[in-house]
Amino acid sequence: MNFLTQIDNLALIALLAVSGTALFLPTLSTLIGGKGLSPTEATILINRRKAAVLDLREAEAYKSGHLPGAKHIDAAGLTAAIEKLKLDRNNPLILVCDTGTQSRKVIAEVKKLGFAEVAALDGGVQAWKAAALPLVK
């Protein structure tokens, strides 16, 4: 009976470790890649704080549907494209791509340009669509 109790305890400890890791992963990805926003959080920033939205996808993907008010920029010439737009560096900036991966990768580069608050849309345009939020063509 003592042996079975030890196995039960090990199973509970393993379950605790797996659950804790699963809960911590989103926080870890934010710490490594920068701030990520849900579609709801992005909408609030856009509506309440006049956040600018930059779409990093290919031109064809942008034309097929993008977030309202989003500006298309070429990810390869990111710095020049942002400078050309003359955005207010005191307002939040939301970076958008198809899945959120590319946007997270350039957060640090955009922050170096003097933007106080830069975030990526978690899940990108795919998450925006899944949340049934509008796209503009």
Beta bridge partners of 118: 93
Whether 97 is a known active-site residue: answer yes
From the candidates 67, 94, 96, 97, which is the catalytic residue? 97
* Catalytic annotation, residues: 97
